[in-house]
């Protein structure tokens, strides 16, 4: 291993975008710590050079701390943390179910917040590094059948905007990733046509480029969809709700 080898920790790495990004960084020569609940999948991933398994449930604060310390002990340092854990089940979001909404927010929002809190002192004392969080275009504005997922992602985006200023004082970069529809086990649950649907490899390429080669606060893709939704985000409620209602009835 080269002394100059960059090191990254990725949560939510056992499937979908997280897994594809982990494999992309490993292919590019980074040393990659992967975390998720499914140990057997992570262990299989370690057959790829540069990937190392650290099973983790992000809803367990003590476990987050112990895993982070183990990674530091093994890696020596970290240059980048990518927190992408998330859950989503559209069938559970067609009606308001407080318990299920609380669980989605516990995983998608508070799980990430706890991860950021765990690495906060390390990066601030180091006075360098990068923390990136996977949000979603679902956080831009309220969408149908997204009573838990959408609010959890909106909270994540707002959280990134809020902590950006504090971490910047310590020369630590904060960024947020807002993917559109990417073909993953989560989006496979959708029963509606998904415009501009892309592969996880497409997402991994965009994320790697955005994290390593660019300096934007938000990494969003595919642009054909995200720019349209950004336009809808600035519309008055009366127009926005009318347009979404028309689209839903199609």
**pLDDT tens digit string along 154-169?**
999 999 999 999 999 9
**pLDDT tens digit string along 140-196?**
998 877 889 999 999 999 999 999 999 999 999 999 999 998 888 777 677 677 778
Return the pLDDT at 250.
61
Q: How many CA atoms lie within 13 A of 50 on its CB side?
A: 20
- Global pTM reads 0.93
All domains in the chain, ordered by first residue: 7-249 (3.40.50.720)
CA distance linking residue 45 with residue 26, whole number of Å: 10
SS3 170: coil
């Amino acid at each position: 291993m080269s002394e100059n080898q960059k090191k990254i920790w990725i949560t939510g790495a056992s499937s979908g975008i997280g897994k594809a990004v982990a494999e992309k960084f490993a292919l590019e020569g980074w040393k990659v710590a992967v975390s998720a609940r499914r140990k057997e999948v992570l262990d299989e991933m370690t057959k790829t050079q540069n990937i190392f398994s650290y099973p983790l449930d992000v809803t367990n604060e003590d476990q987050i701390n112990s895993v982070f310390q183990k990674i530091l002990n093994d890696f020596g340092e970290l240059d980048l943390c990518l927190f992408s854990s998330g859950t989503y089940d559209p069938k559970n979001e067609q009606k308001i179910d407080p318990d299920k909404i609380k669980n989605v927010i516990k995983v998608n929002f508070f799980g990430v917040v706890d991860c950021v809190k765990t690495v906060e002192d390390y990066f601030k004392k180091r006075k360098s590094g990068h923390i990136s969080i996977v949000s979603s275009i679902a956080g831009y504005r309220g969408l149908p059948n997204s009573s838990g997922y959408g609010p959890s992602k909106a909270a994540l985006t707002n959280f990134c905007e809020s902590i950006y200023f504090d971490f910047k004082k310590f020369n630590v970069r904060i960024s947020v990733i807002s993917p559109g529809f990417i073909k993953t086990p989560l989006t496979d649950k959708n029963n509606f046509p998904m415009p501009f649907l892309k592969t996880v490899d497409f997402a991994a390429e965009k994320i790697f480029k955005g994290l390593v080669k660019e300096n934007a606060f938000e990494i969003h893709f595919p642009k054909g969809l995200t720019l349209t939704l950004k336009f809808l985000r600035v519309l008055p409620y009366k127009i926005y709700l009318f347009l979404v209602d028309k689209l839903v009835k199609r």
